Amino acid sequence: MQLAIEALEGARRDVMNAHKADEGRLRISAPTWFGKAVLPPILSGFKERYPKMSFEISLSDGLVNIVDDDYDLAIRISSQPSDKFTIWRKIRVVPRILVAAPGSRFVDKQHPSELSSDDCLAYSGESRRENWVLSDGGSSMTIPAGRAFSANNGEVLADMAADGAGVAMLPGFHIAEHLRTGRLVHVLQGWAPPELWLTLYYPPYQALLPRIASFSKFFEEQVASYMVMLD
């Protein structure tokens, strides 16, 4: 009985706080790396400004259904959104490059046609194959990737590439340390994949609730400090 009363009281408080910009709870979904490396100081800064706010954070490298899973917003690093049932805000572009281990047979490749599907380590939210579309600015080529290896985590792919297992196509934040230490090098530099977007996703609100709008504004202002980590 007491638990039921506490649950009802919590629900009542949530309804009362829904229209406040500085009070209430935010349920946020974020990619694993981003949630560990970038999100904590942003949350801390927002909490310092709005001490009555509370958070529930879920980290996942797969795409979540923010409506069915009842999230207030989701942070995504993905291709250009095509979801017609949610609202999204583009924060910035996240470029990707092709990388491989120095000294491996992949560093001397001059054209994507020299890569086989087995050479390409695929990123997939469901650990399946993907198609790489690469362009040199004038022509493009599609390579089926992941026949030999795929994973739903960029850090795993970066480590596999650094061990000489193949070529990975990853954004800068997954490979910055490997590039700095020389464990990975940029290959096929004349060829580039489509850019990813850092976006904020929302359920199909008629208008953003004040607490969500205030966090979104703060997030967009603060994430600029971490842009170098996304390149």
- Give the number of other CB atoms < 10 A from CB of residue 16: 11
Q: How far apart are CA 125 and CA 121, in angstroms?
A: 13
Supply the mean pLDDT for the chain. Answer: 87
How confident is the model over 26-51, as pLDDT tens digits? 999 999 989 998 999 999 999 999 99
Task: Using the predicted structure, report yes or no on whether residue 122 has a pLDDT greater than 70.
Answer: yes
| Domain 96-186 CATH (choose: 3.40.50.300, 3.40.190.10, 3.40.30.10, 3.30.465.10) | 3.40.190.10
pLDDT class of 17 with cuts at 50, 70, 90: very low
Task: Using the predicted structure, report yes or no on whether residue 190 has a pLDDT greater than 70.
Answer: yes
Same topology, domains 2-92+196-230 and 96-186? Answer is yes
| Mean pLDDT, residues 46-59 taken together | 96
Residue whose token pair is 């929302």: 202
Q: What is the pLDDT of residue 72?
A: 95
Task: Using the predicted structure, report yes or no on whether residue 136 has a pLDDT greater than 50.
Answer: yes
Q: What is the pLDDT of residue 10?
A: 53
Q: Pairing between strand 150-151 and 167-171?
A: unpaired
Residue extents of the structural domains in the chain: 2-92+196-230, 96-186
Q: Looking at the structure, give the CATH architecture of the domain made up of residues 2-92+196-230.
A: 3-Layer(aba) Sandwich (3.40)
Task: Using the predicted structure, report yes or no on whether residue 193 has a pLDDT greater than 70.
Answer: yes
**Residue 155 Cα distances to 61, 66, 84, 115, angstroms:** 11, 25, 30, 22
In 3D space, the residue among 116, 134, 108, 133 whose CA is nearest the CA of residue 191 turns out to be 134
Helices 154-162 and 172-181, packing angle to 10 deg: 30
Contact criterion met (CB below 8 Å) for 37 and 44? no
Q: Provide the phi-psi class of 111: left if phi over 0, else alpha when psi is between -120 and 50, else beta.
A: beta
